[in-house]
Structure 1
């Protein structure tokens, strides 16, 4: 059985003409995918009008709270005293949100309690996957 952490946070969408100033966002961490975190956005906050989920490295989020990081679709950087900026780059455009760093820290501490950084490989289930592959090969 796997314990999944979900934490609701308020994200502030940065846009020239925002449809909504504050966006209810859900942070998610599942030890079954120990290197990743995800952010889920509700339908009213997206261009498509459907729920959207972005998955990216837990390490990216952790490091981005201290210094700018990320070169791809997701970039994270500190902003001011207690804000962290997360940028999501897609062909349709870029979404920029601000989240309270204290909320991110609390989420990451909870994830760290489930799977400490550097111990993620112990939660990948490689032995079970290998056994299944070998069982199918016989």
Structure 2
């Protein structure tokens, strides 16, 4: 997956596991966000800040929770939106009525091997977009190929 970078298999699995954890929490976050909509007539929205240190006495904990959940949901959705094959992630982690993986592979028209490879690639792309992977920690590999003219 990371052919250009010197990343071990263990580090790759760790990155994939972190991406899976974030995406697995998406449906719960989305549901909590939807259910935590504060009652508009009881809230004061002027100058709302999600910063814990900048809260005013007019902001209720419900409103703060709602805004924080919204930020988390939006961050995940934005990262997924830049993934090239985002349908793999959306079908696996974001859609409520998800299908079995073999059924998704069948509907897409690929084998399970190809489906799993594409899902892993999408997860890596997501982890980069979401900020899980910091490429500054890794060395860039350069390999030279010599070509002889005979």
Structure with the greater alpha carbon radius of gyration: 2
TM-score (norm 1): 0.27
Work out which structure has the larger RCO, using CA pairs closer than 8 Å and 6 or more positions apart in sequence. 2
Could you say which structure has the higher strand fraction? 1
Instruction: Compute the TM-score of the two structures, normalised by the length of structure 2.
Output: 0.26
Q: Which has the higher helix share?
A: 2
